[in-house]
């Protein structure tokens, strides 16, 4: 449906430019228009209209282009069509997750934007459940954003200039069999007590309505049980946090699902 708008916009642009051309020609060959026409020109503020209409059309074009991209990345992100294990481009998953979160990353009236540094290594395609992996990336990135936002709310504008809020995403192929994705933030960090309970279902330090405490426990299951990888955390209160996902590049073929997985 976005394509109806997108596709027709270029025609709309051509037609309006033709019509404006026609008006121009009329003006040229009719130096003394009828008073009623003059009144009409005045009423609709023709000069302004001529200038504004093409601008409106082009911003509509930019808007639909953006909608197209978001729809594409949502489709890419959810991979609803792919319940199967498949070789996927991990960087594509990270990028579409970031695109979905872009609204939370950009500058707001009360704080600067959050910078995202990508250190993408040379990764092979990785066999995994793309939809699930993207969900994990979403959980970890959303937590990182929450953490830097909390740190920003406790900081001053000057301090923010020296230590801008940042999220760093590093991917590496650690050996022949596995890859790693590290997501680091310079947010509020965690105490040892919080770190000890991090992966427990329903454990949250966020206010009611904001946190469910399920993100990390679901992520842990997805990585450790479904992909037979690992999810580890390093954190220091007031410094920041780093989560590292390690997953095998190839999953063992014909693995029997565990009883727990079957039950799902």
Ligand X SMILES: Nc1ncnc2c1ncn2[C@@H]1O[C@H](COP(=O)(O)OP(=O)(O)O)[C@@H](O)[C@H]1O
- C-alpha closest to that of 16 among 61, 49, 62: 49
- C-alpha closest to that of 90 among 175, 172, 177: 172
The CA-based dihedral angle spanning residues 150, 153, 155, 160, taken in that order and rounded to the nearest 10 degrees: 90
Residue 147 neighbours by CB distance under 10 Å: 21
Nearer to ligand X, 208 or 263 (CB): 208
Q: Which of residues 128-157 bind Mg ion (CB under 5 A)?
A: 143
Q: For residue 241, state whether it binds ligand X (rule: CB under 6 A).
A: yes
Strands 230-236 and 166-173: unpaired
- State which of residues 93, 131, 187, 215 lies at the interface with Mg ion (CB under 5 A): 215
- State which of residues 185, 226, 227, 231 lies at the interface with ligand X (CB under 6 A): 185
Strands 126-128 and 115-120: unpaired
Please state the closest distance from residue 210 (CB atom) to Mg ion, in A.
9
Nearer to ligand X, 88 or 148 (CB): 148
Q: Which among Mg ion, ligand X, none contacts residue 185 (Cβ within 5 to 8 A by kind)? A: ligand X
Q: For residue 205, state whether it binds ligand X (rule: CB under 6 A).
A: yes
Please state the closest distance from residue 94 (CB atom) to ligand X, in A.
16
Cβ within 8 Å of residue 208, ≥6 positions away: none
Q: For residue 231, state whether it binds ligand X (rule: CB under 6 A).
A: no
For residues 161-200, one letter each, b for 16 or more C-beta atoms within 10 angstroms of the residue's C-beta and e for the rest, the string is eeeebbbbbbbbeeeeebbbbbbbbbbbbbeeeebeebbe
Q: For residue 165, state whether it binds Mg ion (rule: CB under 5 A).
A: no
Q: Which of residues 104-163 bind ligand X (CB under 6 A)?
A: 139, 143-144, 147
Binding site for ligand X (CB under 6 A): 139, 143-144, 147, 185, 187-190, 194, 198, 203-206, 211-217, 241
């Amino acid at each position: 449906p976005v394509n109806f708008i997108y596709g027709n916009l270029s025609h709309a642009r051509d037609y309006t430019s033709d019509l404006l051309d026609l008006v121009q020609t009329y003006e040229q060959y009719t130096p003394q228009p009828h008073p009623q026409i003059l009144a009409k020109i005045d009423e609709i503020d023709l000069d302004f209209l001529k200038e504004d209409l093409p601008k409106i059309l082009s911003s509509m074009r930019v808007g639909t282009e953006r909608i197209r991209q978001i729809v594409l990345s949502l489709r890419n992100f959810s991979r609803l069509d792919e319940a199967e294990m498949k070789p996927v481009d991990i960087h594509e998953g990270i990028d579409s997750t970031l695109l979905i979160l872009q609204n939370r990353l950009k500058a707001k009236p009360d704080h600067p934007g959050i910078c995202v540094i990508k250190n993408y290594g040379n990764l092979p395609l990785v066999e995994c459940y793309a939809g699930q992996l993207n969900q994990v990336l979403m959980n970890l990135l959303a937590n990182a954003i929450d953490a830097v936002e909390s740190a920003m709310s406790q900081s001053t504008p000057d301090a923010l200039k020296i230590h801008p809020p940042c999220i760093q995403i590093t991917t590496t192929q650690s050996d022949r069999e596995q890859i790693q994705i590290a997501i680091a933030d310079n947010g509020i960090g965690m105490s040892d007590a919080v770190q000890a309970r991090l992966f427990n279902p329903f454990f949250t330090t966020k206010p009611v309505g904001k946190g469910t405490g399920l993100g990390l426990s679901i992520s842990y299951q997805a990585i450790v049980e479904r992909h037979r990888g690992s999810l580890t955390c390093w954190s220091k209160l007031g410094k920041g946090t780093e989560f590292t996902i390690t997953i095998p590049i190839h999953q063992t073929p014909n693995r029997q699902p565990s009883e727990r997985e079957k039950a799902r």
